[in-house]
């Protein structure tokens, strides 16, 4: 009976949405924030939401996909040719995280993670698969989602810049 009596009395206020947290998390917390009138209680709930968001980002950091993204980011920063090959990603991933997995880390497996789980496209260049040049914006979003944002514009030029290998 309570629901019928109070139907339409309280509406979710979209202005209370915090854009710095996951959209799904904000979707859950905005109705709660809308029914709270006390500013101190609202701030407390907002802080709980932000803390939960930080925990989600930290948990996501531990995932295999995040480890692959971390490897891609490292290789992009040290790349001296346009595009990063799946073989390069696999080699670096195996060096860093090989002991963490019971199975053998192969380019086929890493390619599947990149294409299926991360949703990135690959291109075949000179007989090997590389990350697609047009995948920069997707990578930036994925880095941001995993808590390791890249500077804007870094990936936009991935397929067009030729980097020079630095001398020791």
Q: Which tokens is 20 given? A: 């710095």
Check residue 162 and give its pLDDT: 33
For residue 45, CA distances in Å to 11, 52, 86 come to 18, 10, 43
Q: Taking Cα atoms as reference points, which of 97, 101, 26 lies closest to residue 56?
A: 26
Check residue 156 and give its pLDDT: 35
What is the mean pLDDT for each group of 10 consecutive residues in the chain (168 residues)?
Answer: 76 81 87 88 92 80 80 81 86 89 89 90 90 82 69 39 36
Which DSSP letter does residue 160 get?
T
Interatomic CA distance for residues 87 and 103, integer angstroms: 17
Contacts of 83 (CB under 8 A, 6+ apart): 123, 125, 130, 131, 133, 158, 159
Full set of structural domains in the chain with CATH? 12-61 (no CATH), 64-145 (1.10.10)
Q: Which H helix or E strand runs over 122?
A: strand 122-125
Check residue 55 and give its pLDDT: 86
Query: Which residue bears the tokens 């698969």?
Result: 129
Q: Which H helix or E strand runs over 27?
A: helix 23-35
């Amino acid at each position: 009976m309570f629901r019928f009596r109070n139907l339409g009395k309280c509406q979710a206020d979209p202005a209370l949405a915090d854009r710095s947290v996951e959209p799904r998390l904000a979707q859950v917390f905005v109705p709660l924030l809308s029914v709270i009138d006390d500013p101190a209680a609202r701030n407390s709930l907002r802080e709980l939401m932000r803390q939960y968001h930080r925990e989600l980002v930290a948990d996501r950091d531990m995932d295999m996909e995040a480890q692959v993204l971390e490897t891609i980011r490292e290789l992009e920063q040290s790349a001296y040719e346009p595009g990063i090959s799946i073989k390069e990603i696999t080699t670096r991933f195996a060096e860093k995280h090989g002991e963490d997995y019971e199975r053998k880390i192969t380019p086929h497996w890493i390619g599947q993670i990149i294409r299926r789980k991360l949703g990135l496209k690959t291109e075949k260049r000179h007989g090997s698969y590389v990350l697609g040049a047009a995948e920069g914006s997707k990578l930036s979003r994925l880095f941001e989602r995993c808590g390791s944002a890249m500077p804007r514009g870094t990936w936009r030029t991935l397929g067009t810049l030729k980097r020079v290998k630095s001398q020791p």
